[in-house]
Structure 1
Amino acid sequence: MLSFSDTEVALSMRYNRELSNTVSHAQAIVDSKNGSIDALRAALKSVLAELEDERALRHAAEMRLDRVNRLLDTPLN
């Protein structure tokens, strides 16, 4: 028959409680980091959308510039 002393049972209970606390703290850290990652992803998505808008504006400006340059190179006679 297997038997445990009161000290062994108490040590086991303490170990399990500390392990549970450690797991809870680790999960809180992971959740915090996930929140930070999600915020950074949202910020990156916003910046990439801004960049795409800027690229479209630059492309439109380059097309207008090319049109003006073609007009300036056209003889006036």
Structure 2
Amino acid sequence: MRHFTPEHEGMAVVDARGERLGRLAGIEDGEGRLEPKTGVESRMEAAAAPETDTLSILPEQVVEVTNDYIRIELGDEE
């Protein structure tokens, strides 16, 4: 994926196995902002900024976008 667009905001974000991680809460500096479900932080390499409850998703982590979800690769999946 080359970049996130406003149309992606609010979409579900899933991992390679299809497990829902949260939703795309917004876009900041070209990165998606994931509003995670509980426990996702330990699986993400990027840490949330102290003033937010969201995590970064880099465009290069996105492997598929459908009408229903954004699938990302976390790097710890087989």
Q: TM-score range by the shorter chain?
A: under 0.3
Query: Relative contact order: is structure 1 or structure 2 higher (C-alpha 8 Å, sep ≥ 6)?
Result: 2
**TM-score, normalized by length of structure 2?**
0.15
The structure whose residues are more often helix, as a share, is: 1
* TM-score, normalising length: structure 1: 0.16
Please say which structure displays the higher CA radius of gyration. Answer: 1
